[in-house]
């Protein structure tokens, strides 16, 4: 099981939908989160993309020299940048990070944002562009010189001179719920990502993707994007979930849902259908809570509960075929520690060997009464 964390480049805080308890996106704050994730043993971090975010490639490049093992899942936007330029950029970041780059392919689900970036294409047309883009990108990254004329893209003599460290290229991640998205993933993608839908819906997606990939004589791995609210007791976890949205009012929720309504993303439509903009039935599957999606676009569900329960729910997804879990929680710095401390001992994740502690308080907390070394509770 590969567990990722999240860099909140669009802002962070203790509550949703309010400036109360908000935190600015600064280099020192992002550094704290990235270094915590690196030190705690997360497999990597997702760096989000979109006009509400700081640029993903600039942020990842800033974090690389500040971390040692952490991988960075960074977005490319087919149609916004050329495939050859994107290949050079990815190859450079992969080499300079010693092979710690993962590439997240984002077609875009907001027509207004796409038009602001100069892309005036309908939903399925964007997937045609993405298919052409990845066909060029993958060949260039593998060392080929490419001539290609497609419906939207054309290159002549496209190549890169400095190859990536990971051969033939850094792994490609991608999420999309429409038939066009599944067809694209089957042809090109290494790891297919779903947002946190109920297990039965996720199982249907995985089955469809496996059928499509088999038809392309390929195999695809699977991941899921979820928020997590985990505490030592279920009562504390659900109290924290309710506290996260306690500043939301009906007007804010309605404004957010109206904004999401302009999107042509099938995944966003499925997220909105889980809660329908209402606060009275947010547990849409056992321990799967849709409250985040009331005002947050994209991933809108959280696993909520005590550590044993949340770990069990994650293992249920793993039994379906999910091996990558991209998690987040508010605020992201504190929750990175909480999730690692409560969940990692209960999950089949690779644990780093403990080194020699540089100080006496290292692995066991504070000395009791200046004399007694504390031990872990047996309860």
pLDDT at 363: 61
pLDDT at 109: 73
Statement: residue 227 has pLDDT above 60:
yes
Torsion angles phi and psi, residue 189, rounded to 5? -95, 145
- 302 beta partners: 227, 289
pLDDT at 13: 96
| Residue closest to 4 by CA, chosen among 229, 346, 326 | 326
CA–CA gap between residue 71 and residue 75 (Å, rounded):
13
High-pLDDT (> 90) share of the chain, % = 78
Statement: residue 48 has pLDDT above 90:
yes
Q: Are 339 and 306 in contact (CB under 8 A)?
A: no
Q: Are 29 and 333 in contact (CB under 8 A)?
A: yes
Q: Are 10 and 55 in contact (CB under 8 A)?
A: no
Average pLDDT rounded to a whole number, residues 309-337: 98
- The per-residue pLDDT for range 106-151, each reduced to its tens digit, is 998 788 888 898 888 898 999 999 999 999 999 999 999 999 999 9
pLDDT band at 355 (very low <50, low <70, confident <90, very high): low
- The per-residue pLDDT for range 68-83, each reduced to its tens digit, is 999 999 999 999 999 9
pLDDT at 361: 55
Least confident residue range of 113-117, 143-147, 182-186, 344-348: 113-117
Q: Catalogue all structural domains in the chain, each as residue range(s) with its CATH number.
A: 2-224+309-346 (3.20.20.30)
Instruction: Pick 362 or 248 by higher pLDDT.
Output: 248
Q: What are 6's two structure tokens?
A: 């999240």
Q: Which residue has the tokens 């998690």?
A: 327
pLDDT at 260: 82
- The per-residue pLDDT for range 31-44, each reduced to its tens digit, is 999 999 999 999 99
Query: What are the CA-CA distances from residue 264 to residues 26, 104, 222, 374 (Å)?
Result: 32, 19, 23, 55
CA–CA gap between residue 126 and residue 107 (Å, rounded):
6
Q: Are 177 and 123 in contact (CB under 8 A)?
A: no
pLDDT at 119: 86
CA–CA gap between residue 293 and residue 282 (Å, rounded):
10
Statement: residue 176 has pLDDT above 80:
yes
Q: What are 211's two structure tokens?
A: 């059928």
- Extract the runs of DSSP E, i.e. beta strands, from the chain: 2-6, 12-13, 22-23, 44-47, 71-76, 101-105, 146-149, 154-158, 172-175, 191-195, 221-231, 283-285, 288-289, 302-306, 322-328
**pTM for the full predicted model:** 0.94
CA–CA gap between residue 100 and residue 70 (Å, rounded):
7
pLDDT band at 376 (very low <50, low <70, confident <90, very high): confident
- 155 beta partners: 148
CA–CA gap between residue 324 and residue 225 (Å, rounded):
9
pLDDT band at 378 (very low <50, low <70, confident <90, very high): low
pLDDT at 371: 74
Statement: residue 335 has pLDDT above 70:
yes
Cis? peptide before 168, omega within 30° of 0 = yes
- 5 beta partners: 45
pLDDT band at 271 (very low <50, low <70, confident <90, very high): confident
- 230 beta partners: 305
Statement: residue 311 has pLDDT above 70:
yes
Q: Are 319 and 313 in contact (CB under 8 A)?
A: no
- The per-residue pLDDT for range 187-207, each reduced to its tens digit, is 999 999 999 999 999 999 999
Dihedral angle, C-alpha 335, 337, 338, 342, nearest 10 ° = 140
In eight-state DSSP terms, residue 376 is: -
CA–CA gap between residue 91 and residue 134 (Å, rounded):
15
CA–CA gap between residue 11 and residue 348 (Å, rounded):
31
Between CA 125 and CA 55, with CA 297 as vertex, the angle to 5 degrees is 75
Across the chain, mean pLDDT equals 93
């Amino acid at each position: 099981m590969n567990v990722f964390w999240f860099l909140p480049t669009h802002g962070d805080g203790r509550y949703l939908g309010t400036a109360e308890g908000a935190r600015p996106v600064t280099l020192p704050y992002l550094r704290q989160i990235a270094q915590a994730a690196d030190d705690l043993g997360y497999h990597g971090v997702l760096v989000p993309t979109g006009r509400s975010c700081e640029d993903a490639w600039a942020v990842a490049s800033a974090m690389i020299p500040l971390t040692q093992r952490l991988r960075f899942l960074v977005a490319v936007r087919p149609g916004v940048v050329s495939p050859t330029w994107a290949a050079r950029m990815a190859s450079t970041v992969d080499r300079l990070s010693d092979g710690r780059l993962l590439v997240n392919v984002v077609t875009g689900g907001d027509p207004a944002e796409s038009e602001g970036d100069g892309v005036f294409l309908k939903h399925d047309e964007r997937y045609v562009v993405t298919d052409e883009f990845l066909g060029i990108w993958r060949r260039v990254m593998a060392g080929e010189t490419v001539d290609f004329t497609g419906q939207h893209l054309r290159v002549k003599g496209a190549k890169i001179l400095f190859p990536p460290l990971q051969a033939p290229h850094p792994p490609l991640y991608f999420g999309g719920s429409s038939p066009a998205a599944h067809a694209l993933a089957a042809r090109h993608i290494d790891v297919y990502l779903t947002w946190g839908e109920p297990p039965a819906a996720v199982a249907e997606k995985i089955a469809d993707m496996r059928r499509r990939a088999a038809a392309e004589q390929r195999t695809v791995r699977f991941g899921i994007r979820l928020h997590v609210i985990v505490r030592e007791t279920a009562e504390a976890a659900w109290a924290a979930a309710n506290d996260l949205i306690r500043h939301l009012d009906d007007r804010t929720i309605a404004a957010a849902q109206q904004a999401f309504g302009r999107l042509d993303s099938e995944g966003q439509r499925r997220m909105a259908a889980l809660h329908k903009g209402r606060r009275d039935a947010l547990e849409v599957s056992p321990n799967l809570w849709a409250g985040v999606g009331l005002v947050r676009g994209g991933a809108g569900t959280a696993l909520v509960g005590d550590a044993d329960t949340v770990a069990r729910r994650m293992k249920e997804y793993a039994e379906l075929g999910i091996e990558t879990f991209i998690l987040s929680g508010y605020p992201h710095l504190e929750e990175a520690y909480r999730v690692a401390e409560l969940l990692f001992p209960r999950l089949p994740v690779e644990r780093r060997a403990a080194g020699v502690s540089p100080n006496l308080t290292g692995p066991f907390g504070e000395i009791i009464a200046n004399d007694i070394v504390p031990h872990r509770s047996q309860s």
